[in-house]
Amino acid sequence: MNEGAILAAREGRTKVAQYDLIRSIEKVMLGPERRSHLLSVKEKEITAYHEAGHALVASVLVYADPVHKISIISRGRAAGYTLKLPFEDRKLQSRKEFLDDIAVSLGGYVAEQMTFGDITTGPSNDLQVSTALARDMVTKYGMSEKIGPIALETTAGMPLYGKGAWSEKEYSERVSAEIDAEVSKIINDAMKRAQDVLTKHKKALAGIAKRLVEVETIEREAFEQLLVLHGIVPKKKEEVLPPAVA
């Protein structure tokens, strides 16, 4: 709210609008716009496909949040960004939602690989985020099918289970190997799901990327029109949220 009020005041307005709040969210989450940070023609194309990959996977997978905005205008350290917003606030997150989130995070990586046959440094933060989330699923939330409902680490990352009484050898060699294997499985499965989505909707990927190169920013309404144009039905609130309990 404070950041939104600052943005409104800078433009000489006395009321804070929803537009200001959206811009404030983007600034706080991603950093200020860097319009002086110009991309080359090739970098712009790669970034467009990268963000289109995120957005398309998010739009197809059921438990991912809907896309609110896509941009290839630099913010902070990012060359572009895809902003997703849930239909409503939530305090709990399910395993299915985490798995879809990881697949969405890998959508940019997969889109670059599929389209250009190569990978840039662009997905580096996506890989860090998805790997950290997969590890938390295994070690903190009991969401690993193989390891089961055991908390292996505290919220501070300290080991809780599998640590020898006199040394950390058992944890390092046996439990760590199991954790690594489960994290790799979650990541690889998520990447396969992202590949399936982008392969099936390859024309939509190209169409979104092309439009991004042309206009640099696509808002939700225009994005959903692109989805419909390529035969993809935009998400509706009632399709994602569970029915209310009477």
What residues are annotated to the active site? 51
Find the length of the chain: 246
Q: In the chain, which residue ranges form alpha helices assigned H by DSSP?
A: 2-10, 18-30, 41-60, 95-105, 107-116, 124-139, 169-170, 176-200, 202-215, 220-229, 237-240
Q: In 61-154, which residue ranges form alpha helices assigned H by DSSP?
A: 95-105, 107-116, 124-139
CA 138/CA 147 separation, integer angstroms: 7
CA 223/CA 217 separation, integer angstroms: 10
User: What does the block give as tokens for 124?
Assistant: 């580096």
CA 229/CA 148 separation, integer angstroms: 43
User: Measuring CA to CA, which residue among 183, 205, 176 is closest to residue 137?
Assistant: 183
Residue with tokens 């035969």: 231
Say which amino acid occupies 124.
Answer: S
CA 203/CA 102 separation, integer angstroms: 23
List the beta bridge partners of residue 169.
none
User: What does the block give as tokens for 134?
Assistant: 């997969």
